[in-house]
């Protein structure tokens, strides 16, 4: 069976894990955590503070707490995304307002955001779907003009770019995921990227259970105490060690992912054009992360038949994201602003092909042959 995804730990991950164990610091905020955070900060251009967290979802929760929400405050989110893009804000008191994504990139549509803004709007969450940037040239000024906090859910887009600038550096806050399914992983993990310096010290406190332990660890106070809201959102140094091993191999992982992505794009193009199957589109001003390669088939029946066709050939292809505005919880706690026809269509038609660094050329040839033999 060719799986849809396979995490790969071919570097120094085990060695660092062992080092963390023998070094005796296995809880959070240890030497590997700082090393990974500093490396991420350096690669993001040096103006962000990165805090490793237990997941991207928890980083989104931290963003929600940092917004200081009052009941009735609204956060605008794309309907076509993972549940916690919205759920993290709901958990901390916000009303999610679901808007559509644009047909070309499946990212939040700036015109739909603008139409959804009310006097209760506090923030906009932009997901860079598949690691292809949302329209930051429109979203940044729109949020500025309305005094809204822009948050990037950058789970897919680590070191992707918009106009040459790294994703995760446009919003006041951004979140990363290091879940098993992401380009680099430590199993479960994430990060909060804090670009607004005014939010750094509170973010550190939230992550450390509402205490000023980070200041204590830096020797800035001689004891630590409970000072604010917070939870247990620090990543274990064991996992930070694994993540360092992954980060050191980032370039080789990405090179391989891009080769696979480009091969799908070129070898499936004619077949797709002949059948009206849509492939991913990357606008010229964006550097993508080769996180997702998808096909959008004609309708849900064709899509389901396609998945079965591949499964019969021992290949696992998957679809994802039910539109949040139609989900049970979305209907109960959120509000839809405008229609979301693109989100609904993507949910019915999109299928993701296997894409991971260790997918061999022969395995990819099998996937491509299986796709081309589908009628």
Ligand X SMILES: Cc1ncc(COP(=O)(O)O)c(C=O)c1O
Q: How many CB atoms lie within 10 A of CB 313?
A: 16
Rank residues 25 and 179 by Cβ distance to ligand X and give the closer one: 179
- Separation of alpha carbons 239 and 33, rounded Å: 9
Rounded to a whole number of angstroms, the CA Rg of the chain reads 21
Query: Should residue 190 be labelled a site residue for ligand X when binding is judged by CB under 6 A?
Result: yes
Rank residues 33 and 84 by Cβ distance to ligand X and give the closer one: 84
Q: How far is the CB of 113 from ligand X (least distance, A)?
A: 17
Angle at 256 between CA 52 and CA 16, to 5 degrees: 40
Task: Provide φ and ψ at 120, rounded to 5°.
Answer: -90, -5
Q: Tell me, by CB under 6 A, how many residues bind ligand X.
A: 15
Rank residues 61 and 208 by Cβ distance to ligand X and give the closer one: 61
Q: How far is the CB of 119 from ligand X (least distance, A)?
A: 28
Q: How far is the CB of 267 from ligand X (least distance, A)?
A: 26
Distances (CA, A) of 8 to 97, 150, 242: 37, 33, 11
Q: How far is the CB of 189 from ligand X (least distance, A)?
A: 7
Token code pair at residue 353: 């092909």
Token code pair at residue 363: 């395995």
Q: How far is the CB of 269 from ligand X (least distance, A)?
A: 26
CB-count burial class (<10 Å; 0-12, 13-18, 19+) for 274: exposed
Measure CA 128 to chain center: 7
Rank residues 192 and 205 by Cβ distance to ligand X and give the closer one: 192
Query: Should residue 133 be labelled a site residue for ligand X when binding is judged by CB under 6 A?
Result: no
Q: Are 192 and 62 within 8 A, CB to CB?
A: yes
* Consecutive H or E run containing 350: strand 350-352
Q: How far is the CB of 145 from ligand X (least distance, A)?
A: 26
Q: How far is the CB of 274 from ligand X (least distance, A)?
A: 31
Query: Should residue 236 be labelled a site residue for ligand X when binding is judged by CB under 6 A?
Result: no
Question: What residues pair up with 319 in beta bridges, in sequence order?
Answer: none
Residues in 146-185 at the binding interface with ligand X, rule: CB under 6 A: 153, 155-156, 177, 179, 181
Q: How far is the CB of 373 from ligand X (least distance, A)?
A: 30
Rank residues 170 and 277 by Cβ distance to ligand X and give the closer one: 170
Rank residues 11 and 190 by Cβ distance to ligand X and give the closer one: 190
Q: Is the dihedral of CA 293, 298, 299, 300 positive or negative?
A: negative
Rank residues 169 and 211 by Cβ distance to ligand X and give the closer one: 169
Rank residues 82 and 170 by Cβ distance to ligand X and give the closer one: 82
- Separation of alpha carbons 61 and 55, rounded Å: 10
Residue recorded with tokens 């990227």: 193
Residues in 48-107 at the binding interface with ligand X, rule: CB under 6 A: 55-57, 81-82, 84-85
Q: Are 271 and 371 within 8 A, CB to CB?
A: yes
Contacts of 251 (CB under 8 A, 6+ apart): none
Q: Which of 69, 127, 310, 347 binds ligand X (CB under 6 A)?
A: 127
Q: How far is the CB of 127 from ligand X (least distance, A)?
A: 5
Rank residues 155 and 238 by Cβ distance to ligand X and give the closer one: 155
Q: Which of 95, 113, 288, 254 is nearest to 183 (CA)?
A: 254
Give the residues lining the site for ligand X (CB under 6 A): 55-57, 81-82, 84-85, 127, 153, 155-156, 177, 179, 181, 190
């Amino acid at each position: 069976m060719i799986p849809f995804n396979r995490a790969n730990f071919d570097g120094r991950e085990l060695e660092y894990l062992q080092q963390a164990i023998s070094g005796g610091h296995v809880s959070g905020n240890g030497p590997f955590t700082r090393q990974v955070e500093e490396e991420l900060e350096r690669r993001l251009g040096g103006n962000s503070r990165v805090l490793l967290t237990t997941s991207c979802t928890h980083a989104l929760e931290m963003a929600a707490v940092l917004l200081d929400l009052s009941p009735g405050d609204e956060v605008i989110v794309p309907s076509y995304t993972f549940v916690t893009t919205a759920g993290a804000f709901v958990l901390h008191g916000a009303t999610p307002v679901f808007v559509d994504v644009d047909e070309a990139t499946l990212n939040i549509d700036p015109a739909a955001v603008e139409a959804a803004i009310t006097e209760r709007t506090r923030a906009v969450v932009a997901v860079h779907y598949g690691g292809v940037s949302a329209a930051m040239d429109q979203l940044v000024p729109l949020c500025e003009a309305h005094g809204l906090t822009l948050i990037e859910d950058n789970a897919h887009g680590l070191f992707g770019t918009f106009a040459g600038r790294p994703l995760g550096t446009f919003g006041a806050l951004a979140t990363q995921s290091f879940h098993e399914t992401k380009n680099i992983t430590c199993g479960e993990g994430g990060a909060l990227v804090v670009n607004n310096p005014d939010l750094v010290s509170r973010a550190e406190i939230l992550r450390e259970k509402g205490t000023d332990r980070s200041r204590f660890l830096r020797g800035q106070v001689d004891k630590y105490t409970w000072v604010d809201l917070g939870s247990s959102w620090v990543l274990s140094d064991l996992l930070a060690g694994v993540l360092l091993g992954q980060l050191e191999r980032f370039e080789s992982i990405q090179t391989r992912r891009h080769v696979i992505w480009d091969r799908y794009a070129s070898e499936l193009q004619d077949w797709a054009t002949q059948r009206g199957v849509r492939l991913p589109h990357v606008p010229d001003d964006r550097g993508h992360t080769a996180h997702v390669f998808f096909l959008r088939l004609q309708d849900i029946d064709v899509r389901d038949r396609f998945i079965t066709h591949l499964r019969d050939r021992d290949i696992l292809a998957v679809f994802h994201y039910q539109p949040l505005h139609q989900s049970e919880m979305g209907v109960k706690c959120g509000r839809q602003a405008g229609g979301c026809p693109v989100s609904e269509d993507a949910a019915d038609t999109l299928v993701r092909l296997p894409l991971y660094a260790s997918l061999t050329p022969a395995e990819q040839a099998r996937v491509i042959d299986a796709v081309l033999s589908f009628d």
